[in-house]
Amino acid sequence: MMSKVLIVMGSDSDWGKMKDCVVTLKDLGITPEVKICSAHRTPEQAAKLSKNAKDNGFSAIIAAAGLAAHLPGVMAAFTTLPVIGVPISAGSLAGQDALYSIAQMPPGVPVATVAIDGSKNAAILAGQIIAGFDNKVAVKLTLLKEEMQDKVKIKQEKLDKILEEEL
């Protein structure tokens, strides 16, 4: 059976920034389940999703929100699963409000925070957590790293050519 990750986002307006997360999880062979859910607007649903996540077979939770982003912290309050927070750029502070709200958790309730709109890294980090017990995911992550190295190698070769021929 494939490992599963629960993705919650505060609003459907966050979806454009979260699509890459879903694509990356699927590329890693992880099943994503996506729910719109808010600590402010649907607090009971947020608590329920988090409390039940482990029993429902999820290995990690990715929580994305913009503005005063309390959702990741509230999800972390109700579970022992690792919670990864994605600050979304929304509103006049362009995601800095969400970044601080997500990263500055009090001792005892950590949320692993990625960059503003860094939803791809949230997926890779969830993959790295899962790779500890799911070897299929570990293999895919190794391939991902090799692909990155190959891409940089090609860029270096192009640059070397320019340096040699044009300068």
Ligand X SMILES: Nc1c(C(=O)O)ncn1[C@@H]1O[C@H](COP(=O)(O)O)[C@@H](O)[C@H]1O
Q: How many residues does the chain have?
A: 167
Q: Which is nearer to ligand X, 15 or 125 (CB)?
A: 15
Please, what is the minimum distance in Å from the beta carbon of residue 65 to ligand X? 3
Q: Does residue 10 belong to the site contacting ligand X (CB under 6 A)?
A: yes
Q: Rounded to an integer, what distance in angstroms lies between the CA atom of residue 138 and that of residue 151?
A: 20
Q: Rounded to an integer, what distance in angstroms lies between the CA atom of residue 44 and that of residue 48?
A: 6
Tell me how many residues contact ligand X (CB under 6 A): 17
Instruction: Kindly identify the residues of this chain, within the stretch 55-84, that bind ligand X according to CB under 6 A.
Output: 65-71
Q: Which is nearer to ligand X, 12 or 55 (CB)?
A: 12
- x/- track of binding to ligand X for residues 20-59 (CB under 6 A): ------------------xxxx------------------
Q: Which is nearer to ligand X, 70 or 120 (CB)?
A: 70
What's 38's DSSP letter? -
- x/- track of binding to ligand X for residues 83-122 (CB under 6 A): -----x-x--------------------------------
Q: Does the annotation list 11 as a binding residue?
A: yes
Q: Rounded to an integer, what distance in angstroms lies between the CA atom of residue 147 and that of residue 73?
A: 34
Q: Does the annotation list 50 as a binding residue?
A: no
Sign for the pseudo-dihedral over CA of 74, 119, 149, 60? positive
Q: Which is nearer to ligand X, 20 or 27 (CB)?
A: 20
User: Is 126 in contact with 112 (CB distance < 8 Å)?
Assistant: no
Residue 99 CB-half CA count within 13 A: 11
User: Is 117 in contact with 104 (CB distance < 8 Å)?
Assistant: no
Q: Which residue is nearest to ligand X (CB)?
A: 10
Q: Rounded to an integer, what distance in angstroms lies between the CA atom of residue 83 and that of residue 85?
A: 6
| Binding positions for ligand X, rule: CB under 6 A | 10-11, 13-14, 38-41, 65-71, 88, 90
